[in-house]
Structure 1
Amino acid sequence: MPDIHVSAAVIVDDRGRALVVRKRGTTRFMQPGGKPEAGESAARTLIRELHEELALRVDEADLTPLGTFVSAAANEPDHRVVADAFALRAQAEDVVVQAELAELRWLERGDWTSVPLAPLSSEHLLPIAWA
């Protein structure tokens, strides 16, 4: 099964809500992030993606590495996603949907059923957000 390497952000606000996003043309919500460009580290990839997708400016010092997680890919059949995940804090007023994103949601602690989630989010990243 081919791997898709990404960087993903587990973003929590001061109310304990976790941010998930949905890309245009898809149905599942997931943590923001994306694929690296040539020569980018996982952290640099995430910093670029957060700026492109959410107009969020973060420094590498703002990111707390959480590890690497593997799940079935949400939007590419017969692929799996290998995600380097990082935690950070942000506030709702600091993020703006742009680029390929269609919408975002702030999920309350344990709010697993209000939106369809990507496997990586439901299996690994949201449990970390609320650990």
Structure 2
Amino acid sequence: MIDKIAWLHLHEGRVLSTRSRGKDRYYLPGGKREAGETDAQTLVREIREELTVTLDADSLVHVGTFTAPAHGHPAGVLVQMTCYAARYTGHLQPAAEIEEVVWLTYQHRPLVSAVDQLIFDWLRKQGQLAE
């Protein structure tokens, strides 16, 4: 099981997503926890590294946890994505391994990883993700 923490950020019916260099899928921004880190510490660090913005740790709200087959891994490997919403300060821009920052709607569902597809489905049912 791959344990990942993700930032679920919506604006006008679109969800913030990223694509790393050399990857063929978009992913919600975030990443894996380092030893001893809390979810909040992981997310604040990853988002600062990937998108050059600072999340307000006090504003973090757990949105949901989703599990699906891990993209690009052998069959049977799962990823568990724990998603949080949070306010941020700064200007969103790609950094570190991130090549592209995009705003996606439900029509872009085929372009995201399996776990993100579950999240897109859930957001659509909640009426939060535009078609």
For residues 81-124 of structure 1, the C-alpha deviation after alignment (integer angstroms, 9 at most, x for no partner) is: 01111123569x8210010111121013x2335x611011111x
Secondary structure of the residue that 2:111 maps to in structure 1?
coil
Alignment of 1:64-75 (within 5 A): 64-75=61-72
2:101 paired with 1:94: no
Greater relative contact order: 1 or 2 (C-alpha under 8 angstroms, separation 6 or more)?
1
- 1:12–1:88 CA contact under 8 A, matched in 2: no
Secondary structure of the residue that 2:103 maps to in structure 1?
strand
For residues 26-48 of structure 1, the C-alpha deviation after alignment (integer angstroms, 9 at most, x for no partner) is: 10101000000000011210111
Q: Percent identity over the alignment?
A: 32
Partners in 1 of 2:13 and 2:48 — Cα distance? 22
Give the corresponding residue for 2:116. Answer: 121
- Alpha-carbon RMSD: 2.1
Deviation at 1:129, TM superposition (A): 4.0
The one-letter amino acid of 2:8's match is V
- 2:94–2:101 CA contact under 8 A, matched in 1: yes
Give the corresponding residue for 1:80. Answer: 78
2:108 paired with 1:112: yes
* Structure 1 residue runs without a partner (length 5+): none
Q: Which runs of 4+ in 1 moved over 6 A?
A: none
2:10 paired with 1:16: no
Partners in 2 of 1:127 and 1:61 — Cα distance? 28
Secondary structure of the residue that 1:21 maps to in structure 2?
strand
The one-letter amino acid of 1:6's match is K
Deviation at 1:68, TM superposition (A): 2.0
* Structure 2 residue runs without a partner (length 5+): 127-131
- 1:24–1:101 CA contact under 8 A, matched in 2: yes
Secondary structure of the residue that 2:3 maps to in structure 1?
strand
Deviation at 1:72, TM superposition (A): 0.8
